[in-house]
Amino acid sequence: MTGRSQKAKKKSAAANALWGGRFDAAPGAVMEEINASIDFDKKMFAQDIAGSKAHCAMLMAQSIISAEDGNAILAGLDTILGEMESGGFAFDRALEDIHMNVEARLAELVGDGAGRLHTARSRNDQVATDLKIWVRDALDGLDGAAKDLQSALIDKAESHAATVMPGFTHLQTAQPVTLGHHLLAYVEMLGRDRGRMADCRRRLNECPLGAAALAGTAFPIDRDATASALGFDAPAANSLDAVSDRDFVVEFLCLGAILAVHMSRLAEEIVLWCSEPFAFAHLSDAFSTGSSIMPQKRNPDAAELVRAKCGRVIGALTGLLVVLKGLPLAYGKDLQEDKEPVFQVAETLALGFAALTGMIADIAFDAERMKNAAGRGHSTATDLADWLVRVLGMPFRRAHHVTGALVRRADEKSCALNELDLADMQAEEPAITDDVFGVLGVDNSVNSRTSFGGTAPANVVRAVAEARRRFL
């Protein structure tokens, strides 16, 4: 027999083992190529084996399979897990997915008794269970990574509690703020992201195992036992929903998209701060690259790539929503398309966290340049208007008008507000006194912003301590 015919016979045998007596021949090459998922769903090997072990233990406890068969199956599953963890397992695309690769190897180790493992379950509830456990594990890992980034931001904020920088609206200088206050804004964003992770984890934590193909099973299974063994809060209540639900995947991708947007915003700020026109900050060689033609260049490529990868996360969410939108109950092969975006997004977010955490720890700020920039653009104009209200009792709208006239006068004289003479001030409002100059410096401005959540250095010191209590 030729090598080609031997291979075809092997594939046919694999197909028959997979599909049973309904099919006589192996699938065609194109069908095999479009149908196989082992190239990516092998990432779930640990979760798949954990699910199989829980199912086997339950079958034994319910006397659905014998202790002899069950113990042999459990030992075989442990062997397979060791092979996969060590990289010594030979995955076979002809066996289509992680479930059948495990089952085929189990048959080699255990014999015909391995076939009893699939009693009272389907690949439909099996894959839903595997993916829920995988997403749950991914959420736990990403939560830890988000916490690490928060810690780096909090540490940097503490060291820059009194460092003055320009605050922007519309990317125009607005009011002076402190760098510590600015960095803590991202700590709050990440706190909401971690809250979304916890919500997603809580909602997904119902176990599909035991729903079988779609209708449940006639075997006397104990779904509470398998749910508990796998760390779920309860079994999923409806068998149809259990095998077809991918809300948890959509929610994971949705929270991932929001998180990626937050990462991108922070990365964009790093890019701006490290640019020559800003020159607020400097990244070391560890997070910078050069140019192949311009020897003077230092490019913040790590930040730029974090910013760019946001697009693929948003794309993954959109792609899966389109897949799901037209699916009737219960399971359709379309659902095989749920895994690759989940795996890719989890990896992308983990890499983004590592890069941003490293950059925040690495970045060095030019406090003097930032403070000088904070004083440009008449950034203390609001302080002047507030002084007119507070000291002179002027209605705010009138104070806003007077301040605007003084800003125009300063522009005409090409000077800052605090460089105007008192006579210039009094030409617009005779009641203004020398005391007004006490509120026009950037240090005075930030020190005055003591309202809850404000930018004053004293606030930042307290906010750092509170952030550590809340998040770390």
The residues annotated with a catalytic role in the active site are 170, 291
Collect all residues with Cβ–Cβ distance below 8 Å to 174 and sequence separation of at least 6: 166, 167, 168, 379
What does DSSP say about strands 281-282 and 364-365: parallel, antiparallel, or unpaired?
Answer: antiparallel
Residue type, 122: S
Helices (H) and strands (E) in the chain, counts: 19, 6
Distance of CA 2 to CAs 5, 8, 92, Å? 5, 10, 20
Q: Are 439 and 406 a contacting pair, CB within 8 Å?
A: no
Measure Cα distances from 77 to 88, 183, 184, 216, 311 in Å. 14, 48, 48, 25, 39
CA 69 to CA 84: how far, in whole Å? Answer: 22
Is 317 within 8 Å of 260 (Cβ atoms)? no
Residues ≥6 apart with Cβ < 8 Å to 275:
none
Euclidean distance between CA atoms 230 and 215, whole angstroms: 22
Phi, psi of 440 (to 5 degrees): -90, -10
Q: Among 108, 104, 83, 109, which Cα is nearest to 94's?
A: 104
226-229 LR contacts (CB < 8 Å, sep 24+): 226/54, 226/55, 226/58, 229/54, 229/57, 229/58
Residues 6+ apart with CB under 8 A from 333: 35
β-strand partners of 224: none
Rounded-to-integer distance, Cα 405 and Cα 424, Å: 10
The answer for residues whose C-beta is within 8 angstroms of residue 216's C-beta and 6 or more apart is: 210, 239
C-alpha closest to that of 17 among 88, 107, 110: 107
DSSP for 352-392?
Answer: HHHHHHHHHHH-EE-HHHHHHHHTSTTTTHHHHHHHHHHHH
Q: Distance between the two ends of the chain, CA-based, in angstroms?
A: 66
